[in-house]
């Protein structure tokens, strides 16, 4: 997946975009780690039961210029993309994803817009 200025995950209720006031120190304060090529990466396990190691891997990567990003949710091996928003399942994991993303929105890392008409 390539870097883009906004991301809408499949079946997700919101579109996320880079906040115009994003700062590098804010990323570091929110546990983003700088990669060898200079990008900023946040990795979290989305689990129904904390510390069970049974869940999905969320990876957010923001490019070093802070102009584009990508979000992937995969199985715990990180190899296969997963749709956590499909109807009829993963309500707790969806809630944890939205909670994390809302905290990043509150800290001026992302903005969000509803995809519902």
Return left, alpha or beta for 24; rule: phi > 0 is left, psi -120 to 50 is alpha, else beta.
alpha
Instruction: Report phi then psi at 13, rounded to 5.
Output: -80, -10
* CATH code for position 19: 3.30.1820.10
Segment 94-117, tens digit of pLDDT? 999 999 999 999 999 999 999 875
88, part of any domain: yes
On whether the pTM is more than 0.95, the answer is no
Residue ranges making up the domain that contains 86: 4-110
Q: What is the pLDDT at residue 117?
A: 59
48, part of any domain: yes
For residues 40 and 24, is the Cβ–Cβ distance under 8 A? yes
CA distance 94 to 8: 14
115, part of any domain: no
Segment 8-46, tens digit of pLDDT? 999 899 999 999 999 999 999 999 999 999 999 999 999
CA distance 54 to 37: 30
């Amino acid at each position: 997946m390539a870097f883009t200025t906004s991301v809408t995950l499949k079946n997700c209720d919101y579109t996320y975009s880079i906040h115009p006031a994003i700062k590098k120190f804010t990323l570091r304060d929110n546990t983003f780690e700088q990669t060898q090529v200079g990008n900023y990466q946040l990795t979290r396990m989305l689990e129904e039961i904390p510390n069970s190691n049974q869940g999905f891997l969320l990876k957010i990567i923001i490019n070093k210029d802070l102009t584009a990003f990508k979000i992937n949710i995969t199985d715990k091996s990180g190899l296969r993309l997963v749709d956590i928003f499909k109807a009829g399942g993963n309500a707790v994991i969806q809630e944890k994803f939205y909670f994390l993303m809302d905290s990043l929105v509150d800290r001026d890392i992302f903005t969000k817009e509803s995809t519902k008409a």
